[in-house]
């Protein structure tokens, strides 16, 4: 990868107000670009708001569609890659939790959440692919909220070439400090074990449906050290410079880069694991 300044937003996303949410995303995108960021990440379901109780037709959107067109225009206008999420509906009336990658050069790609949390399983279908995205001189993967608890998914993305793992969240419950403490128990391990940068952000605010989202944003280096962090109920934007040299140093150190020394032959079913 090459040196890259990234931004991550703590943002309130209202269910049923995609245009208002897009306006917030646009405001943060312009600010991130003005700060020199080449990529900005927003929380899970940041465009449509987050919900898992049926029916979802009133809030879900098609991909591509009017909302993705607006996001793409935002990215090209500000010359920055934008990662933002929505509830996606298909022609067959199935629903996915989807995160979009709107590139500054006009490309649009997406990721469908593959590991659904228990409350989500009646409402959504799981995705079946774990793609790597190539943009702004870096390779990166996306894990949405609950997916951060699956180390195998992080390792699979790292083995496919990811330099950065993005963890957009729509994670309710607790205070911002409690949520940040929870993230610090496992997200640094995702960075260290896989020698990748980690960028995570959560929605914030209390929603009419009863869910309350504590605001947290976090950027870690490949040694699990904090590069930038914010907590609180207010909307915030953080930035950090991801240095290619920092990644190179870890991956050239025999005691800091673990992936080349895996023994997957031992992990197969039937070998006692």
pLDDT (average), residues 10-19: 94
- pLDDT, the chain, mean: 95
Whether a cis peptide bond, with omega within 30° of 0, leads into 154 is no
- The pLDDT score that the predictor gives to residue 73 is 97
> pLDDT tens, 226-271?
999 999 999 999 999 999 999 999 999 989 999 999 999 898 775 5
- The pLDDT score that the predictor gives to residue 254 is 87
Share of the chain above pLDDT 90, in %: 88
In sequence order, the β-bridge partners of residue 97 are: 87
Give the burial class of 184: count Cβ atoms within 10 A of its Cβ; 0-12 exposed, 13-18 middle, 19 or more buried: middle
Q: How far is CA 232 from CA 98, 201, 243, in A?
A: 25, 12, 27
pLDDT (average), residues 129-142: 97
- The pLDDT score that the predictor gives to residue 270 is 59
pLDDT band of 132, cuts 50, 70, 90 = very high
> pLDDT tens, 207-229?
766 789 999 999 999 999 999 99
Half-sphere exposure of 250 (CA within 13 A, CB side): 20
> pLDDT tens, 66-115?
999 999 999 999 999 999 999 999 988 899 999 999 999 999 999 999 99
Which has the closest alpha carbon to 24: 13, 38, 40?
13
Question: What's the whole-model pTM score?
Answer: 0.95
- The pLDDT score that the predictor gives to residue 273 is 44
- The pLDDT score that the predictor gives to residue 208 is 63
Whether a cis peptide bond, with omega within 30° of 0, leads into 197 is no
Reply yes or no on whether the pLDDT at 17 is more than 80.
yes
| Tokens linked to 82 | 């934008």
- The pLDDT score that the predictor gives to residue 170 is 97
- DSSP letters spanning 5-70: EEEEEEB---TT-HHHHHHHHHHHHHHHHHTT-SEEE--TTTTT----SSP-TTT-B-SSSHHHHH
Query: Which sequence spans correspond to the domains of the chain?
Result: 4-257
Q: How far is CA 118 from CA 52, 178, 250, in A?
A: 10, 21, 36
- The pLDDT score that the predictor gives to residue 207 is 75
> pLDDT tens, 50-69?
998 867 888 899 999 999 99
- Give every CB contact of residue 23 below 8 A, 6+ residues apart in sequence: none
pLDDT band of 149, cuts 50, 70, 90 = very high
Contact 143, 167 (CB under 8 A): yes
Which has the closest alpha carbon to 201: 83, 51, 49?
83
| CATH class of the domain whose range is 4-257 | alpha beta
pLDDT (average), residues 188-213: 92
């Amino acid at each position: 990868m090459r040196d890259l300044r990234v931004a991550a937003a703590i943002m309130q996303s209202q269910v049923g107000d995609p245009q208002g949410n897009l306006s917030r995303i646009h405001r943060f995108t312009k600010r991130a670009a003005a700060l020199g960021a080449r990529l900005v990440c927003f929380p899970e379901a940041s465009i449509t708001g987050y919900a898992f109780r049926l029916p979802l037709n009133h809030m879900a959107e098609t991909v591509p569609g009017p909302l993705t067109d607006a996001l793409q225009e935002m990215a090209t206008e500000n010359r920055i890659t934008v990662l933002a999420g929505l509830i996606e509906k298909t022609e067959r009336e199935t629903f996915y939790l989807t995160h979009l990658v709107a590139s500054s050069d006009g490309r649009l790609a997406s990721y469908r959440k593959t590991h659904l949390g228990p409350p989500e399983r009646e409402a959504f279908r799981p995705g079946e692919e774990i793609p790597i995205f190539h943009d702004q001189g870096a390779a990166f993967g996306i894990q949405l909220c609950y997916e951060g608890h699956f180390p195998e998914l992080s390792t699979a993305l790292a083995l496919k070439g990811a330099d950065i793992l993005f963890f957009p969240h729509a994670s309710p419950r607790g205070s911002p400090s409690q949520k940040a403490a929870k993230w610090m128990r496992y997200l640094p391990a995702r960075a260290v074990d896989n020698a990748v940068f980690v960028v995570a952000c959560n929605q914030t605010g209390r929603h009419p449906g009863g869910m309350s989202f504590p605001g947290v944003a976090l950027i870690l280096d490949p040694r699990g050290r904090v590069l930038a962090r914010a907590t609180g109920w207010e909307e915030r934007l953080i930035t950090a410079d991801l240095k290619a040299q920092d990644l190179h140093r870890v991956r050239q150190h025999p005691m800091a880069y673990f992936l080349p020394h895996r023994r997957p032959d031992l992990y197969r079913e039937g070998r006692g694991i």
